[in-house]
Every structure is written in structure tokens, then in C-alpha cells.
Amino acid sequence: MSQLFFGYFAGMIAITSILVVALRNPVYSALSLLVMFFHVAGLFITLHAEFLAAVQIIVYAGAILVLYLFVVMILNVAQDDRYHSQWRIAGVVCIPLLIESMLLLSGGAGAVNTGSRSLQSGPQDAIDTDNTLAIGKTLFSTYLFPFEVASLVLLVAMIGAIVLAKRDIGEHNT
Amino acid sequence: MTEFGLRLAISMTQIAAVMGVVVITVLILTLAERKVLGWMQDRMGPMEVGPYGILQPFADAIKLFFKEDIVPAGANKFLFTMAPILCLIPAFIGFAVIPWGPNQTFEVGGITVRPFVISDINIGILYILAFASLGAYGIILGGWASNSKYSLLGGLRSAAQIISYELNVGLSIVGVLILGGSLSLVKITDAQAGGFWNWYLFALPAPQIFAFVVYVISSVAETNRVPFDLPEAESELVAGFFTEYSGLRFAFFFLAEYANMVLVSCVAAAMFLGGWNAPYPGTIMAFIGLPSLAWVENTMWFAVKTYSFLFLFFWLRATLPRLRYDQLMRFGWKVLLPIALGNIVVTALAVFFYQQMK
């Protein structure tokens, strides 16, 4: 049963991700991205990570993608402008990705499996009881320092965005 | 496999029952809104259809059903059709985690059934927030697909407004989550049992009165109701994002707006006002020796709380003029957001010291 769900979610993620870049209409691209976010959330649920699934939908589908759609609609991008001649760079980027996936598919599969299993075995019982509680406790005990650093980085980024967007703050006051 | 079939049948029955109740509530609301507004403005409200106009909702529904369905020239047909559905589904799907009555179970063929909640998932309130945030897609796509400037402007306004105020809704709830220690609405309402002084609106150590005010204002804004109905401001945008819609598709948007109002009221009742708990300890039914009928009383209390909250929507509509767009944004970001954040800090500190003292 879970294999079936995984197959469905993975397949849909792959198809919709391709559609995001392949579709001509930017609004349809944004919508297939929305469908993809949903299926990623579905994958999280099959892994018993309900909190992550909800956050995935709230943050990405609910906020970020709406803003994307906003921009796409206001700009009303002409279809020619959207396709820059980037395929050479894309080709160069593709080579290492291809090699990586070949490596993963051929030899490294066994090693990856054991690795993930040893990761799962530790906090298994905590995850079963309350996923959100487990995440909170881990974040504020084991990973407190990285968590605080990440929040600081986000704060700096936020201040930077406000400063860039509000160039006229000083002009109004004087 | 029979067990699976039985489970499916039970779930389907529950879903059908909840959908029925919500749709009936929406029908009542459409009439109640016009009646209440009429009385507040010293009018009678609709009086023609049926005695005192009580059959007006059916007349409205039949009218919308038989109206010609117009797709404007140059509209994106696919998205124009999808948008009302995208608006409606998120509005209805949230009801799955709302507890309507006491948290009791009974057995049917070896399966434990919870009659008053479709599904008690442990991220209940996040689930509602996640789907509520998707309602913006229907509005924004409907506005864009109509190929009309009024619709597009209405859709864009709505997107900006929903994103801004959704944040306040989420943050105002955090205080309750700290007090309740859970994201499940069933557990949160269970924790508020035993008298109105245990409701999180008044509960020690941190009464959530400010959070409740922020929640009320933000939820009015999130459902695009007066005085925050800028996406459909008649005086500026004709009718906003659904200017070009008619017939059944318009009815879908209409239904979604009212279902959202009901959902928001249910969440308010469950999170702040004790859900199905009566304002006194226990129930009268148990007191007079009929504990098996206590659920009637409890569900009635839930209905009373939800309907009083819905009445507040009409009251606001009759009282307040519409805000200007910049006032709306400034109010959301510079007034409500700091109050909500401050409430989280105060609640967290209060709960921490309360636990230390124990």
C-alpha cells in the first residue's frame, strides 16, 4: 500500500516538475508547481512527518507561490522573454547531476539504505507519538545553535529586503 | 476488506452529515444576513417568498441555478472554470477536523467511531490553516482568468490581503497552542472543560483576550467581509474578482465565502470559547440524570457559539464603513502583528513561570 502511494507521489512530482519548465503559459507553470508542492506534502505524510507536510503547504503553496503568481500576473511576461538562451549553462550543470544520479543508482544504493535506517532507528518512538513535539524538542535541544544561526540569517535577509525596498525612508524624514 | 469497507462507509456518512449541516448553515446565513441587516437599518428585509421571507434562500438558489452561464470573451476557459472549484474545496475541507461535540467513542462491528469529529489528526489546526491559505488561489485565478481589469485588480488585492492577514490568524492562535500543548482541536477543546473560566479566552495563567481580538479582526479580513471587503469593493471595482461570473459559478464563490465564515467561526469557538463545553461545569442533562443525552446539550453550545460569532460578522457589516487599502495594510502589519507577537511572548513567559511555581 505505502509502495503504491510512494509510486504515485513520486511519479506526479516528476511529471509536474517537468511541466513547470515545459509549459508555455507561466500561470500554468505556477499551477503545476502548486500540484507538485501538494505531492511533496503527500510524501511527507507517508513518512509520518505531518508537521512538515502542513508547513510545506502553508509556506510554499500558501505564501510563496501566491507571490510568484502575483508577479507573473502583473508582469504578464511575453512568452519569448521567458526563454533565454541558457541551454549551454544548463547542459554544463546537467553533467555533474547525471554522474551523481548514475553513481546513486549503480553502486551506492546499499550504503544509502543502511545509512537512512540507522538515522530512523533512534527517535522512532518519539515520532510515533507526536511529530510536532519531537521536532520542537530536537530543534531546541540538539540543534539549538544551528537553529538560532538560521533564524539570525533569516533576520538579516529580512532587514536587507526592507532596506532595499524602502530606499525612500531617509528622504521622507528630511 | 470488509473492515475497510465499513470504515469507508462510516467516514462517508460523517462527511455527508457535516457537509449537510454546513450547507444548511450557509442557507440560513444568507437569509439571516439580509434579515439582520434589515432590522439594524430599520427595514423588514426580504418578505416576499414564504412567511416572513423564510424561503428566500431557496428562491436565490433556484435563480442562480437557472441563470445563463456566461464566459467572457478572451477569458481563459479552463482556469475560469477551475477557479470557483478551487475556492470551494479549501473552504469545505477544513471542517474535517472540527470537533462538534464531546470526545466520546462507540463501537460498530469492532471499529471505534468518533461521532463528532471526522478525523482527529494531530496537526488539526495547521491542517485548517494550510487549506485556508489555498483559498487565495481560487480568487486570484478567477480574477486573472476573467480577462477583465476589475477582476484582476480585485484578485491581486485579495491575494495581498489574505497573505497579510493569514499571518495574524496563525500568530494569534499560537498563544492557545502554548496553553493547550497540542495542535489537535479535539485535545484543545477537551482541555477547556469545566466552566467558562477555563476557556482560553479567560483561562489563567494567560487570558487570550488580545489574541482573540486579533483573531476576530484578521478572520473578518481573511474572509473578505466588510469592513475589509476591498477585493470586491463595489464603489471601486464593480464586484472585484467575481465581476465576470454568473450563474452556478458565482454561486460557488458565494458558497465558498459563507462556508469560510462558518469555518472561521467554528475555529474561534473551538480555540477560544471552549468548543462544545458548556459555560458551567458538566452538563444539565447529566445533572438531571440523563448523561446519555449530554451530547445534545454540548453540540447545541457549539452551535450557539458559532452562530454568535457569525452574528458578529453581520453586526460589523451593518456598522462599519470600508477601510482604504493602505489603511488596511498598515493596520494589519503595524498594529495587529505586533499585538499578536507580544501576546506570544507574554503567554510563553506566563506559562513558563506558572509551571515553575507548581
Check whether A109 has a pLDDT greater than 60: no
Taking contacts as CB-CB distances below 8 angstroms, the residues of chain B near A70 are: 140, 156, 159-160
**Cβ contact, residue pair A66, B129, below 8 Å:** no
Taking contacts as CB-CB distances below 8 angstroms, the residues of chain B near A130 are: 122, 182
Is the CB of B140 inside 8 Å of chain A's CB atoms? Answer: yes
Check whether A122 has a pLDDT greater than 50: no
For testing the chain A interface, which of B81, B126, B153 should be mutated: the one with the most A CBs within 10 Å? Answer: B126
Confidence of residue A116 (pLDDT cuts 50, 70, 90): very low
B5-10: average pLDDT:
82
Sign of CA dihedral A21, A25, A31, A32: negative
Is the CB of B134 inside 8 Å of chain A's CB atoms? Answer: yes
Residue A84: predicted pLDDT: 61
Q: Is residue A128 part of a domain?
A: no
Residue A150: predicted pLDDT: 92
**CA B142/CA B67 separation, integer angstroms:** 19
Beta-carbon contacts of A12 under 8 Å, excluding residues fewer than 6 positions away, are A35, A36, A39
Residue B154: predicted pLDDT: 81
Of all residues in chain B, the one with the smallest CA distance to A59 is: B130
Q: Say how many C-beta atoms besides its own lie within 10 A of residue A90's C-beta.
A: 9
Q: What is the CATH number of the domain that holds A50?
A: 1.20.120.1200
Domain containing A48 equals 1-80
Check whether B159 has a pLDDT greater than 90: no
Of all residues in chain B, the one with the smallest CA distance to A127 is: B122
Is the CB of A51 inside 8 Å of chain B's CB atoms? Answer: yes
Confidence of residue A82 (pLDDT cuts 50, 70, 90): low
**Cβ contact, residue pair B140, A50, below 8 Å:** no
Check whether B333 has a pLDDT greater than 80: yes
DSSP lists the bridge partners of residue B107 as: B112
Residue A169: predicted pLDDT: 59
Q: Is residue A10 part of a domain?
A: yes
Residue A83: predicted pLDDT: 57
Residue A81: predicted pLDDT: 55
**CA A40/CA A34 separation, integer angstroms:** 10
For B332, the grid coordinates are 494589519
For testing the chain A interface, which of B89, B133, B151, B169 should be mutated: the one with the most A CBs within 10 Å? Answer: B133
Nearest to B123 among A27, A51, A61 (CB): A51
Q: How many CA atoms lie within 13 A of B57 on its CB side?
A: 17
Q: Is residue A11 part of a domain?
A: yes
For testing the chain A interface, which of B119, B144, B185, B330 should be mutated: the one with the most A CBs within 10 Å? Answer: B144
**CA B60/CA B30 separation, integer angstroms:** 9
For A93, the grid coordinates are 550543470
Q: Is residue A145 part of a domain?
A: no
Q: Is residue A35 part of a domain?
A: yes
Q: Is residue A2 part of a domain?
A: yes
pLDDT 10s digits, B125-157: 888 888 888 888 888 888 888 877 788 888 888
Confidence of residue A153 (pLDDT cuts 50, 70, 90): very high
pLDDT 10s digits, B232-257: 666 677 777 777 777 788 888 888 88
Residue A151: predicted pLDDT: 92
B17-27: average pLDDT:
87
Which A residues, 77 through 136, put their C-beta within 8 Å of a C-beta on chain B? 130-132
B76-83: average pLDDT:
82
Check whether A174 has a pLDDT greater than 50: no
For B329, the grid coordinates are 495594510
Instruction: Point out the least confidently predicted range of A122-131, B31-40, B117-126, B259-268.
Output: A122-131
Is the CB of B70 inside 8 Å of chain A's CB atoms? Answer: no
**Cβ contact, residue pair B141, A27, below 8 Å:** yes
Segment of A126-130, B62-66, B168-172, B184-188 carrying the highest mean pLDDT? B168-172
Q: Is residue A61 part of a domain?
A: yes
Cis peptide before B338 (omega within 30 of 0): no
Distance from CA of A145 to the nearest CA of B (A): 21
Nearest Cα residue to B210 out of B174, B182, B180: B174
How many CB pairs below 8 A link A and B?
Answer: 69
**Cβ contact, residue pair A58, B130, below 8 Å:** yes
pLDDT 10s digits, A25-80: 778 888 888 889 888 988 888 887 888 888 888 888 887 888 888 777 777 655 55
Taking contacts as CB-CB distances below 8 angstroms, the residues of chain A near B152 are: 73
Is the CB of A63 inside 8 Å of chain B's CB atoms? Answer: yes
Is the CB of B137 inside 8 Å of chain A's CB atoms? Answer: yes
Residue A118: predicted pLDDT: 41
Work out the burial of residue A92: count CB atoms within 10 Å of its CB; fewer than 13 is exposed, 13-18 middle, 19 or more buried: exposed
Number of domains in chain A: 1
Distance from CA of A117 to the nearest CA of B (A): 25
Instruction: Please give the C-alpha separations between residue B308 and each of A36, B20, B21, B325, in angstroms, as whole numbers.
Output: 40, 20, 17, 28
Q: Is residue A29 part of a domain?
A: yes
Mean pLDDT of chain B: 82
